[in-house]
Amino acid sequence: MDSQTPAYPVTYRNRLRRRHDRGHYDHATVHAILDAAMLCHVAYVIDGQPYCTPTGFWREGGTLLWHGSSASRMLRAQADGVPVCVTVTHMDAIVLARCGFNHSINYRSVMAYGRARLVTDPAAKLRAMDGFINRFFPGRSAVLRAPSAQEIKATSVVEMPIDQASAKIRDLPPHDDEDDYAVPAWTALIPLRTVVGEAEPDPRQHPDADRAAGGIAAYRAGRTTDEVFAETARLYEADPGDTEPGDTDRD
């Protein structure tokens, strides 16, 4: 990585300690791994007790966002800017070797650090709620019923500007110590993928519902979620499809 490549600063907090050759700090690699996921784990500490909460999330530029119930302990704790670590991991393959020590997993992972805070501005909160929909289902918010005042009140949105981040990637074939190649154990790389299946329409589907306007064009059966989420991320970056409060397209 040259000095002109946009990258997150490397400090004691995010520097890889082990197998640093697998580490990446550039924005392109970190963001690509984040954008290929819909689920993350948010780690934080409340009164000395560590917690790690799985939740849906999305990225807007250098900021991660997630939301949940206003009654959530995690979201209440993050109201005032609590330090958090957000992690994403993709398991890409199982690696079988000739000894247990050399068995491994191929993976892509990111650890992102920052201070999470609640989004309190009503207009920004509503845009973020629509943003979560549009990030994964481009333009879908425009065909949905607008959220009610009670739904908005019951939902909290958290944003975390990424202060530091590191990616770690393993993408290697089976490897053994030279003497172990005489061991008659079957070895292989077993790829793993999460694949989109055929959509199962709601039995109470509205007769006027238009699948083409549902924001799911990318979700074709047989595609990997990596491909789908990366595609919808590019579309969202090009056109977030923001809907201002009171926009008549949502009425």
Number of neighbours of residue 71 by Cβ within 10 angstroms: 9
Q: The domain spanning residue 78 has which CATH number? A: 2.30.110.10
Q: For residue 29, give the nearest of 10, 9, 1 by alpha carbon.
A: 1
What is the domain count for the chain? 1
Q: For residue 169, give the nearest of 6, 12, 2, 25 by alpha carbon.
A: 25
Q: Residue 249 — very low, low, confident or very high, per pLDDT cuts 50/70/90?
A: very low
Is residue 26 situated within a structural domain?
Answer: yes
Is residue 245 situated within a structural domain?
Answer: no
Tell me: pLDDT of 185 over 50.
yes
Tell me: pLDDT of 149 over 80.
yes
Q: Residue 45 — very low, low, confident or very high, per pLDDT cuts 50/70/90?
A: confident
pLDDT of residue 248: 33
What would the mean pLDDT of 43-56 be, rounded to a whole number? 89
Is residue 248 situated within a structural domain?
Answer: no
Query: pLDDT per residue over 112-144, tens digit each?
Result: 999 998 898 889 999 999 999 999 999 999 999
Is residue 98 situated within a structural domain?
Answer: no
Helices (DSSP H) in the chain: which residue ranges? 27-35, 73-77, 122-136, 149-154, 225-238
- Residues of the domain holding 66: 20-91+105-172+193-240
**Which amino acid is it at 23?**
G
**Two structure tokens written together for 222:** 């047989």
Average pLDDT, the chain: 88
Tell me: pLDDT of 190 over 80.
yes
Is residue 247 situated within a structural domain?
Answer: no
Half-sphere exposure (CA, 13 Å, Cβ side) for 219? 14
Is residue 15 situated within a structural domain?
Answer: no
Q: How many helices (H) and strands (E) would you count in the chain?
A: 5, 9
What would the mean pLDDT of 58-76 be, rounded to a whole number? 80
Query: Are 8 and 110 a contacting pair, CB within 8 Å?
Result: no
Handedness of CA 37, 62, 124, 251 (dihedral sign): negative
Is residue 79 situated within a structural domain?
Answer: yes
Q: For residue 86, give the nearest of 48, 56, 107 by alpha carbon.
A: 56
Torsion (CA) 76, 80, 83, 86 in degrees, nearest 10: 50
Is residue 203 situated within a structural domain?
Answer: yes
